[in-house]
Amino acid sequence: MIGFDLSEEQTALQDMAHKFAANEIRPKAAECDKEGKFPKEIFQKAFDLGLMTGFIPEAYGGLGLGAVEACLIEEELGWGCSGITTSLTCNGLALTPILLAGTEEQKKEFVVPFTREFMFASFCLTEPGAGSDAGGIATTAKKDGDVYLLNGRKCFITNGSYASQYTVFASTDRSKGHKGLSAFIVPRSLPGVSPGKKEDKMGQRASDTADVLFEDVRVPAANLLGKEGDGFKIAMMTLDYARPTVAAMAVGVARAAFELAMQYSKERVQFGMPIAMNQAIHFLLADMAMDIEAARLLTLKGAWLLDQGRRSTKESSFAKAFAADLAMRVTTDAVQIFGGYGYMKDYPVEKLMRDAKLLQIYEGTSQIQRLVIAKEVMMR
């Protein structure tokens, strides 16, 4: 059985997210971009509407939405502003490891509070020396009685400055490489946890990206997710869930650029006619529309597999690579259609182009997605 129509509930969620993007996000996006401002008031409103807790099962106080619904919402929010969306939806990335690998007690203690109170959690995988090579983590967690002593520095952490809880990947046995990695829930309140340098980024400037430092942090052994050595798989399984949502955000960014470029091409008169009358512009717009649709379908397929409880590693990477690369292409072509004006900050498309670049880098670069895809198609 196959169908492409959305249910009434899905359409309602999509409409709600679109209205939020149009009324709350878009009006503030340029100012947040210019000033690198983290718009807490927008996040608070999103929380009040349930936009930050949709992915959490009802049993733990969330809306219990599936991955398909999460992607429908994410596309609309990404259409509004991907910087704001990256921070708005980051709790999904940080809390999914607990939902996937946590015990009942851990879910109650470390997930439920995020449905009751507006706060942030961060996913701490990346380090200065371990980006694409996630198995090369140098942060250590040494067992000492009923605590682990956590030491290390994480970088490029979304919402790192504002999070009240971190999901941290650290090595409990460096001799074992990726098999020695373990995942921990680390409350910010523990002594020795401190956010560090905040990054000044090219794009997605409304999202917070910062270092997080861990110095002799005494993490209760009860905060270990799964068993020692499970960390790498927990991180990879989490990324299988997160990558379709990044892809959906990329579709939203591309759609925004396409709409602006199409509208401008009808208004801009050169050689006595709107530039939209030229076939050169038709071909650009047609490619944009076709690729946006293809990216959306790949995204929803990955999300649908996850909702069926099936592995989606290959499809999640298909979606992330295709959609992120497409967003870069479409936003670049949109700037081209706007010509000289497109390059100026007075017009909105240059922001979209800067924002799109990050989509090809975080949550696994476009090259890493191809590595994952190659492994999946060649070895399974």
**Residue ranges in contact with ligand CAA by CB under 6 A:** 93, 123, 125-126, 132-135, 156-158, 178-179, 232-233, 236-237, 239-240, 313, 362-364, 368, 371-372, 375
The CA distance from 182 to 275, in Å, is: 56
In the Cβ-directed half-sphere of 230, how many Cα atoms lie within 13 Å? 15
**Lookup: tokens for 46:** 């999103």
The rounded Cα 301 to chain-centroid distance in angstroms is: 18
Q: In what helix (H) or strand (E) does residue 90 lie, and over which residues does it extend?
A: helix 90-101
β-bridge mates for residue 209, sequence order: 158
DSSP structure string for 249-290:
HHHHHHHHHHHHHHHHHHH-EETTEEGGGSHHHHHHHHHHHH
State the greatest distance between any 2 C-alpha atoms of the chain, in Å, as a whole number.
80
Determine which one of 69, 75, 228, 363 is catalytic. Answer: 363
β-bridge mates for residue 219, sequence order: 148
Query: Minimal CA–CA distance to 245: which of 119, 10, 24, 67?
Result: 67
Q: Taking a C-beta distance cutoff of 8 angstroms, is the pair 315, 297 a contact?
A: no
Active site residue 363: yes
The CA distance from 49 to 347, in Å, is: 31
The CA distance from 89 to 204, in Å, is: 13
Neighbouring CB atoms inside 10 A of 275's CB total: 18
The CA distance from 228 to 26, in Å, is: 44
Burial of 54 (0-12, 13-18, 19+ CB in 10 A): buried
Reduced to 3 DSSP states, what percent helix, strand and coil does the chain have, rounded to the nearest 5?
60, 15, 25
Q: β-pairing, 193-198 with 209-220?
A: antiparallel
Burial of 31 (0-12, 13-18, 19+ CB in 10 A): exposed
Name the residue nearer to ligand CAA (CB basis): 53 or 126.
126
Angle at 177 (CA atoms; ends 176, 183), nearest 5 degrees: 95
Residue type, 181: L
Catalytic positions, written as ranges: 363
